[in-house]
Amino acid sequence: MLGVTGQKRGRFLLYRDEKREPLMVIRDLKKYYPVRGSTIGKKKPIIHAVDGVDFEIYEGETLGIVGESGCGKSTIGRQIVALEKPTSGHVLYQGESLSDMSAGRLRKIRTHLQMVFQDSTSSLNPRKQIYDILAAPILYHKIVERDMLDEEINRLLDLVGLPKSMKYRYPHEFSGGQRQRIGIAKALSLRPRLVVCDEPVSALDVSVQAQILNLLKQLQDELKVTYVFIAHGLGAVRYVSNRIAIMYLGRIVEIADTQELFDDPVHPYTQALFDASPLPAPKLRGRQRIILKGEIPSSINPPKGCRFHTRCPYAIESCRVDDPKLIPVKPGSSHLAACPVVLAQRKN
Amino acid sequence: MESLLKVKDLTITFIDENTQTVVVDGVDFHVKPGEVLCIVGESGCGKSVTALSILGLLSPNARITSGSIVFNGQDLLEMNEKEIDQIRGSEATMVFQDVMNSLNPVLTIGSQLTEVIRIHMGYDKKRAREYAIEMIKKVGLPDAETVMKKYPHMLSGGMQQRVMIAMALACEPKLIIADEPTTALDVTIQLQIMKLLVELQKEFHMSILLITHDIGLVAELADRVIIMYAGQFMEETSVYRLFEHPAHPYTRALLESVPCIYDDPNKKLTSIPGTVPENYQDIEGCRFYGRCSYSVPACKEKQIYSEFMEGHFVRCHRAEKGEIPFVS
């Protein structure tokens, strides 16, 4: 079912969980964007937003994708729900490539793949009441009959913890947290199998963040929906995810089960990212940690070799040349990391 | 020790055509020389307005309706615009969250930086330039000469924030007011900037008033912490005591609702029910009443901000009497 995509080149002989069938398989996914409004006559610079990533999403899990701004995590999210077409590579949903689907088939599949956006203000139409915002997709995709619509909308609002009486209000009458609840109800209204949550709590206050994170977890228990949770806040990602992928400049540098990743981070970037997250414990201020030097390089001209070598405290000569592949940390392990230097050190 | 900044009974009101909203309601605090004081709160609690008011940077519809702000022995509210200008930028400076809008997009970094130095330190052009280059080096930017010639948009967010810090430090101020200085930055860059601020703070023996919503940052940087909610101070104590013995129910709920990367993975995150009340100025009693799990009828009466232990203030009659049990 993984099909022909590149197996011949031997590139994708990655670890696969034999017991579980992946809901979605991402193979050598690349997405480049031309820079807008650049100089005439010259070749347009290209942003390498996502530059060759492979991973699977299993049914019922939450896969967290973490990285700093510009690392391509949101771009991956948009490819997964078919909002954009990849430059090359494949997003296979139940074995079918999204980019090869007919328009009609894709329209049907879109109901399975939904998204919750960061900015709940701009993703809700300000001129429409919540009732209409929720009703439009339900009617379009014929999820329920028209005479059942009222009941369905009440059910959705109840699901996300909003009182039914609020359904004739406009988006601006809600607080940020409530608007995000509406965004979640909208995503769930089509009974999706996979929901991509793109920074769903970043714009919210801490006290409200916890409410939304708990709501997402509770909904997953009830509805058995699969999540891809994209965020830059490690604490939040760890709280909701079963597995986490760490991204840097368009590539996945490490992917592992949540517990495994936090117990034993392998890639130097993962370690630095963990060290940089502030801990709510003043006693630990003086702890040893990696402080990265320099800025994140531009994704227009990403560094050759390992993309992290310009900031990596462990970089050696070969890191400037060799492009590291994601390999199992131990034979047969589902914990993959793209740093031959650290892995070689561990063997000794 | 004599305090560097002393704010007394500060009340700030936003005046619209026909409404008056009290956004900061009688706050008292002081900053000692060489200390880092953090004011923590959620959006809309009044923390930024408090910070802006100190250097007279409030928007025209905001009025300081009562109180005094004494900096280095001078009452800032009694001064005229010209006199405040003398202090702003030289003795006390601000670093903002939104760097892109705080730097002038049509002037080079060099000309903006030398302007500040020439005005406040009275240096001539050549000497100001040399000093500017020295400052750029100090904030850890490589290739200072080139940075001087660049326009703000040519620098990344982290580099812009470093330039802002260089500008704020140029006149060796006694106080830096930093309003969410790293919120717009990525975590690895945030750590660099915070480390830089602390190093420079020690080197120049400055005080920092840090405004933030990030509990983690507070734990990393603060000496003393004030928790603000709905226009009022709820709690104030040293950072170590705050994290070990938080007194106010709001502080506790806030600390428990932050996911930490080293928590027990099976622990459920405690969330605070409801949202911050609107029109909180009209609430007579405790403003956290509706969201608090320890509330009793007496909470509807006016709550007094009292020092129940040395250096530890709280606005909660139950916490004062030790009636709020410890959870952690």
Q: Which residue has the higher pLDDT, B204 or A336?
A: A336
Interface test with B, best of A74, A287, A295 (most B CBs within 10 A): A295
Confidence (pLDDT) at B143: 85
Strand, coil or helix: A103? helix
- Residue A202, pLDDT above cutoff 80: yes
pTM for the predicted model, two decimal places: 0.86
Contact A285 B217 (CB under 8 A): no
- Residue A117, pLDDT above cutoff 50: yes
The band of A343, judged by pLDDT with boundaries at 50, 70 and 90, is very high
Domains of chain A, each with CATH number or no CATH:
4-37+45-122+193-347 (3.40.50.300)
Which of B188, B258, B261 has its CB closest to that of A68?
B188
For chain B, which residues lie within 8 Å of any Cβ of chain A, measuring from their own Cβ?
42-43, 156, 158-159, 186-192, 195, 213-220, 222, 239-240, 243, 253-255, 257-263, 265, 268-273, 275-276
Q: Which residue has the higher pLDDT, A52 or A15?
A: A52
The band of A2, judged by pLDDT with boundaries at 50, 70 and 90, is very low
Q: Averaged over B113-136, what is the pLDDT?
A: 92
The band of A8, judged by pLDDT with boundaries at 50, 70 and 90, is very low
Instruction: Give contacts of A 284-313 with B, CB under 8 A.
Output: 285, 291-293, 295-296
Contact B193, B181 (CB under 8 A): yes
ipTM of the complex: 0.81
**Could you read off the pLDDT of A249-273 as tens digits, one per residue?**
999 999 999 999 999 999 999 999 9
Asked if A268 has any chain B CB less than 8 Å from its own CB, the reply is no
Q: Give the separation between CA A296 and CA A70, rounded to whole angstroms.
A: 9
Domains of chain B, each with CATH number or no CATH:
5-222 (3.40.50.300), 227-320 (no CATH)
**Could you read off the pLDDT of B38-89 as tens digits, one per residue?**
999 988 899 999 999 999 999 999 999 999 999 999 999 999 989 998 898 8
Q: Give the separation between CA A134 and CA A26, rounded to whole angstroms.
A: 30
Confidence (pLDDT) at A16: 55
Q: How much of chain A, in percent, has pLDDT values that exceed 90?
A: 71
A310 torsion bin: left (phi>0), alpha (psi -120 to 50), beta (else): alpha
Burial A57-75 (b: 16+ CB within 10 A, else e): bbeebbbbbbbbebbbbbb
- A113: tokens are 């793949």
Confidence (pLDDT) at A1: 41
Confidence (pLDDT) at A238: 93
Q: Averaged over A109-113, what is the pLDDT?
A: 94
Distance (Å) of CA B242 to CA A199, B48, B184, B210, B246? 30, 21, 26, 16, 5
Asked if A344 has any chain B CB less than 8 Å from its own CB, the reply is no
Q: Where in chain A does DSSP place strands (E)?
A: 22-34, 46-58, 62-66, 88-93, 96-97, 113-116, 194-198, 226-231, 243-248, 251-257, 327-328, 336-337
Q: Which residues of B touch A211 (CB under 8 A)?
A: 271-273
Tell me which range, A17-26, B14-23, B317-326, is most confidently predicted by mean pLDDT: B14-23
Strand, coil or helix: B126? helix
